[in-house]
A and B are shown apart, each in its own frame.
Chain A
Amino acid sequence: MAEFNVATREDSLVNVIDLKGYLDAHTAPELENVFTRLIDEKKYKVVVNLEQLNYISSAGLGVFMAYIEPMRNNEGDIKFTNLSPKVYNIFDLLGFPLLYEFYKDEKEAILKFNQKSAD
């Protein structure tokens, strides 16, 4: 079995999703479940930390595309942090930087959310 793990935690009212291992068509439903739960719980500010993600295919990228709109419609967003150059390259090939924010560090992304709510 491909190693994959998805975990969530909260930091300053922002929901952080930690992804680990291999995100492909087999494991993408686990991530979908997490997004569905966050929406049910009305948690729309999401930072996805990809520090421990080794691999992503289009099935995984499709999940972020499927859930971005409900987040943004509710004053939230999906922001990505801590990507390895290898994983970032796949996001880049599909044009994700045109629509999503990427940060080197998780704290920067959380700060960005909190600055916005303070405005």
Chain B
Amino acid sequence: MAEKNTAVHTLAPDEILQVKNLSINFGGLKAVDDLTFTLKEKEIFGLIGPNGAGKTTVFNCITQFYKPTAGEIWFRTNKGTVENLIGKQVHDIIRLGLVRTFQNVELIRELSIIDNVLIGAHIDFKASVLSQALKLPKARREERELRQQAESVLDYLGIVELKDQLAGGQPYGILKKVELARTLMCQPRLIILDEPAAGLNDVETEQLAETIHTIRDKYNCTIFLVEHDMRLVMSICNHICAISFGKLLANGTPSEIQNNKSVQEAYLGAEED
């Protein structure tokens, strides 16, 4: 069990997330094994590794969907404090300024695109259920303001004209954008993207690279992504961490990773024997 950690954090002022000695076991399988890495503020950080390396598991540990067997996850929250995420409730993570997307787009087909985006603003609604039911001025104002904000986010991503259409039946590229728009509603400090380019064609992938860059600058946040498209990862990431079978292989700039012997072996197999 992960014991409540009272140890003092070790985040340097320019660091936003530190994963420290993270391990999680599923039965006898060590999905993540003593993994340590650090994200700097305003970085685009890539996590790569062959299939089954445990990348998504790392994400699920950070966002507390899985409870790690051991380790610490230090995060600089939107309030400026540094907190260990271990043991927090899944639905409280977003309140700290950490938001994520999913490998298989998780949107609500029966809702319009703008309503899907508004789900990302869930924590910003302060009006009680009763005042919502009675549509008291406060609830009305909140709804109006956040709807405008959602429109401007959709506008920014270039899909505002689709806002009233249902999410169900939209092309995959649009759905990916809607999911991205949803993460931008909560003024995030750190956005975790789980395979943002999966299922996109080359043109869309190029657009995505552009979008990720501008999001980082416009929203002043850090981006942490898992991706299989090596061209995308190498072109946009400032820093890459490669893992295999839950273990750290290498940590460095894109060119360092490209030239790293053990990374090449993990992807292509060892040259001899």
A and B associate: no
Residues of B whose CB lies within 8 Å of any CB of A are none
